[in-house]
Amino acid sequence: MEYAVLGIIAFFVLCLVCSVPVFVAMGASAVLGGFVLGRDNLFQDAALNAYNALNSFVLLAVPLYILAGTLLQETGLSKRLFTFAAALVSNIRGGLGVATVIACAIFAAISGSSVATAATIGLVAIPILKQNGYPPGRSGALIAAGGTLGILIPPSIALLLYGVLTNQSIGALFVAGVMPGIALATLMAVYTILTNPRDPGSKKPTAREIGQATVNAGPILLLPILIFYGIYSGLATATEVAALAVVYTVVVGFASRTLNLRKLYKAGLSATHASVMILMLVAFGALLTHFLTVTRVPLLLTEVIAGSGLGFFGTLTLMIVFYLVLGMFLEALSMMLITIPILYPVAMAIGMDPLAFGIFVVLAIEIAQITPPVGINLFTVSQIGKVPFESIIRSIVPYVVMAVLMMYAVAYWPELATWLPQTMDYKQ
């Protein structure tokens, strides 16, 4: 059986090298593996496994959160969000850069998507940063890294999928991402303050200016508060909150006349494309996970690492290096769906908390979003801001280091992730 497993894994890697779509590679490898093992009713079982993987009320939240994000992109309210953030910090050193981080963090608390956060805030922030003397590469790296907050600060599509794969509470995972998300955003803001001069023409905003910016951005600022309160209080499940977010965004868009039927259709189409891609990964990823489980790959890997004498730090470092390398070649969610069935038992064996490991994995995925050659946030910012890709790569390294340090922090001090969920009476 060992040779069969190694052959299937080699076939899967070959498919990826040949640029076969990841979901096709996972499905084909799983079916071929079942055939090699001599399984009966192979295609029927594959269809049932894929159906069962998608037959989840929790997964309904994925297209809903994506739709809320695309609707918000179409309304153009992100400009008001950036203006609000700039009004708060424009007078400090590197104020516009800090405002960009704040805007990314707030938008992340709505969309749940890294790319949507980077694209939406980037369209507004890049021209303003350029006008105020920020180097293009540094500006692009700041927005690409700030966009990664979209999959850490709740709601998070990555955390939602992690919860489905590991049978953890989605509400608890969402709340677990708050403190690490704020901590990482703070690190980015501090780095921006230290590496940028005071913005030319900056001045201390008046109370009236701050008040006006707050009123203008009020509708978009209220949404993340409603999302977090609904999840934290237990009044609604993650899926129900996602549906409410969509309704709220539509109502605000039409009320503010920033949304019309054409934009609504465009947002729906974009959300459909993104949702289908993710759900296909989930369905075919379930097939590969089933094959790995049947062949006891996670158990064997756990036994090997347990007997290697690496210890907690060594195993942790090995996982981080593994994710760093894998993130250079695989899209983030694909990487997550492939690795969690294998590494989750390893993490539990070395004593990591399930919630802390969820944040650990999402931080690894964040790094994958901003490391070449497949760092999709880098490509997104480069395209929308007309920023040379090479200059962004040179400036992204400090943000990768920050994320790696946060991975160690969450592993060694799991209270960063677990303290807030422990204060809530939320079981769904």
Confidence of residue 428 (pLDDT cuts 50, 70, 90): very low
What integer pLDDT is reported at residue 183 of this predicted model? 93
Domain locations in the chain as residue ranges: 58-422
Binned at pLDDT 50, 70 and 90, residue 427 comes out as very low
User: What pLDDT does 110 receive?
Assistant: 77
User: Is the confidence at residue 74, as pLDDT, over 80?
Assistant: yes
Tell me what percent of the residues of the chain surpass a pLDDT of 90. Answer: 14
Summarize the confidence of residues 138-161 as an average pLDDT: 86
Which residues, listed in sequence order, are joined to residue 328 by a DSSP beta bridge? Answer: none
386-422 pLDDT, tens per residue? Answer: 888 888 888 899 999 999 999 999 999 999 999 988 8
pLDDT of 202: 66
| Contacts (Cβ under 8 Å, ≥6 apart) of 206 | none
pLDDT tens for each residue of 85-102: 888 887 788 788 888 899
pLDDT at position 374, please? 66
Mapped to the 3 state alphabet, what secondary structure does the chain carry? CHHHHHHHHHHHHHHHHCCCCHHHHHHHHHHHHHHHCCCCCHHHHHHHHHHHHHCCCHHHHHHHHHHHHHHHHHHCCHHHHHHHHHHHHCCCECHHHHHHHHHHHHHHHHHCCHHHHHHHHHHHHHHHHHHCCCCHHHHHHHHHHHHHHHHCCCCCHHHHHHHHHHCCCHHHHHHHCHHHHHHHHHHHHHHHHHHCCECCCCCCCCHHHHHHHHHHHHHHHHHHHHHHHHHHHCCCCHHHHHHHHHHHHHHHHHHCCCCCHHHHHHHHHHHHHHHHHHHHHHHHHHHHHHHHHHCCHHHHHHHHHHCCCCHHHHHHHHHHHHHHHHHCCCCHHHHHHHHHHHHHHHHHHCCCCHHHHHHHHHHHHHHHHCCCCCCHHHHHHHHHHCCCHHHHHHHHHHHHHHHHHHHHHHHHCCHHHHHHHHCCCCCC
213-233 residue pLDDT tens: 888 888 888 888 888 788 777
Mean pLDDT for 308-334 is 81
Distance CA(365)–CA(371), nearest Å, equals 10
In this prediction, what percent of the chain has a pLDDT beyond 70? 95
Which pLDDT belongs to residue 425? 62
Give pLDDT, residue 401. 92
CA distance 59 to 73: 22
pLDDT mean across residues, the chain: 84
Copy the structure tokens of residue 334: 């694909």
Q: How confident is the model at residue 306 (pLDDT cuts 50, 70, 90)?
A: low
Of 265 and 114, the one with more pLDDT: 265
- Per-residue pLDDT of 32-42, as tens digits, reads 888 887 777 77
